[in-house]
Amino acid sequence: AVDLDVSIEPSTEAAAAASGGDSSSTSSASLDAQASELNQIAASLDNLKEDDSMAAAAGGTVVVTELTASAEPDTSEVEEAVSEEDVEAPVVVDVLTVADAVSSAEASGEAPCTVILGVSVSVGGTQRVVYISEELESGSMTESPCDEVNSGYENNITLKCSAGTLSADTSACAPRSCSSAIEVTVGSMTGNILLQSVLLSGVSSKMQCSSVHPAYSGSFTLLCTLGSLDADTSGCMPGCLTTDSINLTVAGYEQPWSPSKDMASGTSQLASCSSVNAGYTGNIDIGCFFSVLTQDPSGCTAKPCVAGMQVSLTLDGSTQSVDIPDKITSGLTGSVDCAAINTGFTGSIVLSCLLGQVTKYDTSSCLRKCTTLDDLDVSLGGETASVSPSADMTSGTTEYNRACSELNIGFEGTYTLTCNDGVLSAALSCTEKGCDTQTDPVTVEVGDSSGDVSADETMDSGGTIDTLCSNVNSKYTGLVTLSCYRGALSKSISTCSVEPCETWIPIIGTVYGVSGLAYPTETIQSGSSGVGRCGDVNIEYSGDLGLLCDEGVGQVTDTSECLLTCSTYGSSSDVTVDGGSYTVRPADRIDHGAKGLQECSAVVYGYSGNIALSCDNGTLSVDLVDCVPDPCEPTLVGNATVGGVEGTTSPVVTIESNSTGPADCNQANQDYTGNMTIYCYAAALTVVSTDTCMLSCPTSSVVAFDFDGESHEVSPVSPIVHAATETNDCESVSSRFVGTYTLGCQDGVLSVQAHCEMRPCDTTTLGYLALENQSQVETYPPEDLLHGESYLEQCSQVYDIYLGDANITCDGGVLVPDYSGCRRGCLVSEGVSLGVGPSPPLVYPGNLILHKQSLTQDCSPLGTQFSGSVDLFCKNGSLSIDGSGCSVACITTTPAEVALVGHTVDIYPTSMIQHGADQDVDCEPQAVGYQGTITLSCDMGFPNASASACVPLPCSQGSSVNITAAGSTSSLTSESVSLMAHDDTYNVNCSGVDPFLSGQVVVSCAYGALVADSTQCGLVCQRGSSVTLGFGYPHRYVVTLSERLLHEAESDRRCYDLHTDLSGRLTLKCDNGILSYYHTCEAPCPSDARVPDGVEPNETGTEREVLPCATTTRTSTTNTSTTTTTSTTTSTTTSTSTTTSTTTSTSTTTSTTNTTSTTTTSSATTTTSST
């Protein structure tokens, strides 16, 4: 017997198969696969208990003593997270085999799976062992229906044999769906319901109950469960049938009612209110709810009395039929005008409406009018008058502003008439007339005179006014009293009498040569005498003045009692005061024989008391002197010098005369305090000593103290006197300080004692945080802070684009933020250049990028030429970009520069070229004169051109070119050349352009076009052209061409032919029609050879040359013929030809010889002069 202890580990192949290739996966799917595999093995081992075929093959028996297998997991309940149970040690299975032959039993990886082997399979929570129907080779598969394990499932289970081990795959098993019809009963009806589509197991579908029974509302639910379809009709609500009825009630009237058709629950129908109660209109809302009919008569309203309905009304015996002007709601009232029934009334008749009928009316609001025929007796001031309205009045109206004078002429004001239901009443606002300056005057008699007197002001009736008797008779005095009654004046009282001389009436008189006005001391009756004061007429005199009164006119009769007075300005006397002599004058005028006083202080300063005086007819005398020296009062001011400053001072207390005392130093000099010593005599001050005056410390004084590493200067808030102190808050030095400092002053020297500390910050200290342009954010310390302590605030609280913390430090009570720890993000409005392409655009983030974060975004929004993506990276507000992932296509506006046979051309793409792609572009029309193609390749928006296939165009047969030479133009066509390659050339005679030309025109092919070069063409020097040789003075020689000389051709001849004395050669040359020469002619020099006086050799215009006496080659350009051509194109041509041919330019020719010089200029004439 062999004991086997078999431990089977979960296979990594199962884990890999379930996880997509990860053999080490511990996901729930991998663990489920491993557990399922172990369960299959356990099921196979379990079969060994019942089946001995394996033991028989080994020649023995197998006994399984212990078999433990993990339970098949419910995959629908397993979450993706791996639990501890999932990773526990694998299940250990012990297998006891029988027979010693087991060790010799055949073991092979190709072992098949026999029909005795089964595998435990779970489908939808149902577990069963599935067997194969026939032996299965290792590596092959077969299928078994899912419904053999669970009838509610469909499809097949895949069984696979691996080295004698059977495994099962149930992943294809799915709950059975529903597709057949079902009968559903709703109420009394049953219907066959067909599914509109296949319903998966566990899925429900709702359908309307009315599809089975139209009287039902709501919906029923069809639920598919493993292929079985069930209906739930609990949601169907019964309706109401046409056989159901309800009694409708409207205002006490009832009427039975049934639906006109079946009603679903929750629906309603309408019934007319008038069908139940004829006095009502509207509809009754009848609803159905679960087969119960309900009514809502709130829509029924009583019928109104409609506008236009006729009603017959009677008012004060008058009956009329009128139309109701407006609709009247039943139960309410309306109205019609009373005047519509009886024109003698106003107001409204009230109509009552009930259920569409006017049931009653009320005329109590109709009021009778008052006409102009009605009258009213009104009494005023004892008189009665009858008044009537000026026009008809409706009841309740009033006629205003009727004059009271209509009722009584002695009254003024207004009254009103009011009509009330045909009855007139009056309200008076009348007053008795007063009198004024326009009132008729009254005649008054005074003495023997009379006159009309009027009121000079306004007065009320019953009032009085006084006027002077003198207004009627100037010799009388007194008053006349006038009375006013209802606008009329009358005289009531008179107190007139002959006028006396009153004390206020002046009398003209003269006293000792001075005229003036005298006033009686009391009233003097007419014809009597009295007295006045002499001083009233002449102030220098006093005494009584005799007066006489005659009918109010006074006169001076006696001045004998008038004597001189002592005046303040004209009278004086000598007086001695305290040993000194002075002059005294009276304080006031003293009458003759009277006494007076003068104060001592008025005579001499510093003394008080009085001096008694008397006057005798203008002479002043001193009766008594009572003067004593004054003390020095605190109000007295004297001069004093303190600290070198002149000022004034006053005694601190009263100082008796001839004594010393203290005076205020500060009064003399505000920079000093204390008291000085002064001497007083007769109210005069003398400074004795200022040694006790001490210097103060003014507000301009400065003293410094050191605190917080700095020196702080302070000054007094107000001046500090000597030996005093002033205590101030340290906060006045700096808001960052707390505590106090004390200033002291010693004789002008300022000192300080400081007790300052740095201000702390408490939890109420307010600080502000601000980043960029964001609004300030308030911050408070989380706890009390000493100076120098700090706390942190997140930068994002200030501006959400920042990360990190701001460090806030308490600095003398002020919260000072440090933002160095804040790291800025990058906003969507902040762009960075893409850095690739011809015109790199700015790339803006699609959203905020925080510090040290990146963002990948599509670059196609940058433009149609961009594709791919870019990576944006933000570092403390600085945006950087990696644009390597963004491809830039080449657009049609970006050219590539290509070199074509010595010059460059810009070639544009015909359409957009993607990065890395190529495009073939025809050489033409962009490269004029070329054929073939140019290949453009795009490299990040920059097109590169390859022009190897672009070659210049040839010139085809029949191409033509215009040839211009010497002002003549001719067209040339290349008929003899079938195809002429670029840069190929051939020659054409210039005479083909103009018969007067010679040389060769070079015709070449340039980029498909013929180009003519006529620079070798020149005018021919014609036969007969001549040149004059001036050497051998005074002889001249003319040489004439006997035949044409081509351009740039030469003609050689002997000098001997010119003159037998000459030797050498003469050469003529033609240059564009101009004949020139050079020679080697020489002649013997005669002994008398010379240049005439005044003639210089080669002088301009002389065309003379002295022939040398030695053999010398001389070259000369003819001067015998010069042609200047002026044309409208401002071109100039020179010709020596005697024959001028007409060309496209009009020429003027000037020829000069030794005998003739002619110049003609014309725009249309050619003149040639030659010799």
Please tell me the predicted confidence (pLDDT) of residue 60.
54
User: Burial code of 314-326, b = ≥16 C-beta within 10 A, e = fewer?
Assistant: ebeeeeeebebee
pLDDT band at 900 (very low <50, low <70, confident <90, very high): confident
pLDDT band at 66 (very low <50, low <70, confident <90, very high): low
Please tell me the predicted confidence (pLDDT) of residue 979.
76
Spatial contact of 929 and 1007, defined as CB atoms under 8 Å apart: yes
Torsion of CA 666, 671, 677, 679, to 10 degrees: -60
pLDDT band at 52 (very low <50, low <70, confident <90, very high): low
Please tell me the predicted confidence (pLDDT) of residue 163.
84
3-state helix, strand, coil in the chain (%, to 5): 10, 45, 45
pLDDT band at 832 (very low <50, low <70, confident <90, very high): very high
Please tell me the predicted confidence (pLDDT) of residue 61.
57
pLDDT band at 852 (very low <50, low <70, confident <90, very high): very high
Please tell me the predicted confidence (pLDDT) of residue 974.
66
pLDDT band at 728 (very low <50, low <70, confident <90, very high): very high
Q: What is the pTM of this model?
A: 0.33
Paired tokens of 1060 = 């037998």
Condensed to tens digits (0 to 9), the pLDDT of residues 837-846 reads 888 999 999 9
Please tell me the predicted confidence (pLDDT) of residue 51.
57
Q: Within its chain, how far is the Cα of 558 from the centroid?
A: 104
Of the CA atoms within 13 Å of residue 736, those in its CB half-sphere come to 15
SS3 per-residue string spanning 1071-1127: ECCEEEEEECCECCCCCCCCCCCCCCCCCCCCCCCCCCCCCCCEEEECCCCEEECCC
pLDDT band at 47 (very low <50, low <70, confident <90, very high): low
Please tell me the predicted confidence (pLDDT) of residue 926.
79
Query: Is 50 exceeded by the pLDDT of residue 706?
Result: yes
By mean pLDDT, which of 117-131, 518-532, 593-607, 1024-1038 is the weakest?
A: 1024-1038
Paired tokens of 159 = 């069984």
Query: Is 60 exceeded by the pLDDT of residue 2?
Result: no
Please tell me the predicted confidence (pLDDT) of residue 944.
92
Please tell me the predicted confidence (pLDDT) of residue 46.
61
Over residues 293-322, the mean pLDDT reads 89
Q: What is the mean pLDDT of the chain?
A: 82
Over residues 260-284, the mean pLDDT reads 87
By mean pLDDT, which of 199-208, 401-410, 1155-1164 is the weakest?
A: 1155-1164
Please tell me the predicted confidence (pLDDT) of residue 169.
92
Please tell me the predicted confidence (pLDDT) of residue 50.
58
CA dist list (Å): 167 to 10, 136, 162: 14, 12, 8
Please tell me the predicted confidence (pLDDT) of residue 365.
86
Phi, psi of 959 (to 5 degrees): -65, 145
Please tell me the predicted confidence (pLDDT) of residue 481.
87
Over residues 545-557, the mean pLDDT reads 88
Condensed to tens digits (0 to 9), the pLDDT of residues 765-802 reads 999 999 988 899 999 999 999 999 999 999 999 999 99
Query: Is 90 exceeded by the pLDDT of residue 879?
Result: yes
Radius of gyration of the chain (CA): 74
Query: Is 60 exceeded by the pLDDT of residue 379?
Result: yes
Query: Is 70 exceeded by the pLDDT of residue 1008?
Result: yes
DSSP string, 564-608: E-B-TTT--EEEEETTEEEEE--SS-B-TT-EEEEEHHHHSTTEE
CA–CA distance, 75 with 84 (Å, rounded to integer): 16
Over residues 1140-1156, the mean pLDDT reads 32
By mean pLDDT, which of 19-28, 29-38, 631-640, 1128-1137 is the weakest?
A: 1128-1137
Over residues 497-502, the mean pLDDT reads 84
Give me the residue label for tokens 């067209």: 971
Over residues 85-107, the mean pLDDT reads 39
Spatial contact of 930 and 878, defined as CB atoms under 8 Å apart: no
Smallest Cα–Cα separation from 1105: which of 1154, 1064, 1157? 1154
Query: Is 60 exceeded by the pLDDT of residue 1003?
Result: yes
Condensed to tens digits (0 to 9), the pLDDT of residues 1087-1106 reads 555 545 544 444 333 344 44
Over residues 1038-1054, the mean pLDDT reads 87
CA–CA distance, 1080 with 678 (Å, rounded to integer): 141
Please tell me the predicted confidence (pLDDT) of residue 92.
39
By mean pLDDT, which of 392-396, 849-853, 1117-1121 is the weakest?
A: 1117-1121
pLDDT band at 243 (very low <50, low <70, confident <90, very high): confident
Over residues 1118-1139, the mean pLDDT reads 32
Percent of the chain's residues with pLDDT above 90: 36
Please tell me the predicted confidence (pLDDT) of residue 1171.
22
Over residues 119-138, the mean pLDDT reads 88
Q: How many helices (H) and strands (E) does the chain have?
A: 6, 101
Please tell me the predicted confidence (pLDDT) of residue 1037.
80
Please tell me the predicted confidence (pLDDT) of residue 596.
92
By mean pLDDT, which of 54-58, 396-400, 634-638, 782-786 is the weakest?
A: 54-58
Phi, psi of 614 (to 5 degrees): -140, 155
Over residues 556-569, the mean pLDDT reads 91
Q: Sheet with 595-599: list strands edge to edge.
A: 595-599, 607-616, 619-629
Query: Is 50 exceeded by the pLDDT of residue 480?
Result: yes
pLDDT band at 833 (very low <50, low <70, confident <90, very high): very high
Over residues 455-459, the mean pLDDT reads 86
DSSP string, 1138-1152: SS----SS--EEEEE
By mean pLDDT, which of 635-649, 718-732, 1102-1116 is the weakest?
A: 1102-1116
By mean pLDDT, which of 205-219, 575-589, 691-705, 885-899 is the weakest?
A: 205-219
Over residues 529-557, the mean pLDDT reads 90
Strands, E, within 840-929: which ranges? Answer: 842-843, 853-858, 866-875, 878-882, 886-888, 896-900, 903-907, 918-922
CA–CA distance, 1015 with 1 (Å, rounded to integer): 126
CA dist list (Å): 704 to 726, 912, 1111: 15, 81, 116
Over residues 214-227, the mean pLDDT reads 86
By mean pLDDT, which of 364-373, 514-523, 1055-1064, 1135-1144 is the weakest?
A: 1135-1144
